[in-house]
Structure 1
Amino acid sequence: MNFSMGEFSTITGLGIHTLRYYEKEKLIIPARKDNGRRCYSENDVSWIQFIKRLKDTNMSIKEIRKYAELRVKGNSTLIERMEMLKEHRIVLKEQIAKSQESLGHLDDKIEYYQTEIDKQHESAE
């Protein structure tokens, strides 16, 4: 099934300006109809969903662009793409560990405040 830019925008949840930016950055290369209009496929939907997941993990547009370039080259780049994802996974795990540590500190501080508030309420009774 093929989608117009408007339909594709709705399906992916990305604005038309974002889609044009992604095209300019060569993250996505839509097919064109005879009249020059962009034409997106189900594969493009899957690809955009993957790009969104990479962005959600804080992968930079520069790195996503590099991955996209390798993807266009085909299966000869599978190892390189896998290595990129492995490296990004390491960075993501480090970010998660830092976030979990920060969450622990916040939980400790919240617990401290709750204890102090409870003490004040007990002494007021």
Structure 2
Amino acid sequence: MTIAEVSKKFNLSADTLRYYERIGLIPRVNRTKSGIRNYTEEDCRWVEHVKCMRGIGLSVELLMEYARLYEQGEETIGARKELLIEQRKNLMIKMEEMTKVRGRMDDKIAGYEQAILEISPKLLF
């Protein structure tokens, strides 16, 4: 796949894809004889993984560490697992916080809806 196709598929700009490759978040993408990037299915899996992890708030630096560990091979499986376990814990905390915030927003919205109902009859006259 070309960079334009991958960009469209994952809704990421070509600049972002080049940046991810340059800093090592995704492995170097093979190129055609004319120098055009040629993304494989494996490359796309990396892009999907990085996009997913960025979407839940993992930092670029943390993902760079994960990619570095991956490049070192099977002896880092345990370290990669621990890194993901720690980030899952952080995600669960964020989700709990967001649930509380959503509850507060729901209460505020309900209060405004009640205020609108109370005001509405007055607006008719």
TM-score bin, normalised by smaller chain: 0.7 to 0.9
* CA deviation profile, 1:5-30 (whole Å, cap 9, x unmatched): 33333333322211111111111221
Alignment correspondent of 1:18: 16
* Structure with the higher fraction of residues in strand conformation: 1
Map of 2:53 onto structure 1: 54
Q: Structure 1 residues 73, 112: CA separation in 2 closer, same or farther (over 3 Å shift)?
A: same
Query: Residue in 2 aligned with 1:30?
Result: 29
Shift of 1:58: 0.4
Counting matched residue pairs gives 123
CA RMSD in angstroms comes to 2.1
Identity of aligned residues (%): 31
- Further displaced range: 11-20 or 105-114: 11-20
Query: Could you tell me which amino acid in structure 1 is paired with residue 77 of structure 2?
Result: L
Worse-matched range after superposition: 72-81 or 3-12: 3-12
Q: Give the 5 Å matches for 1:1-125.
A: 3-28=1-26, 29-121=28-120
1:115, 1:8 → 2: CA distance? 48
Q: Which moved more, 1:78-87 or 1:68-77?
A: 68-77
For structure 1, list consecutive stretches of 5 or more residues without a partner in the other structure.
Answer: none
In structure 2, give the amino acid aligned to 1:47: W
Question: How far off is 1:86 after superposition?
Answer: 0.8
Equivalent AA in structure 1 for residue 8 of structure 2: T
**Deviation (angstroms), 1:96:** 0.9
- Structure 2: 5+ residue stretches without partners: none
Give the alignment's TM-score, normalised by structure 1: 0.84
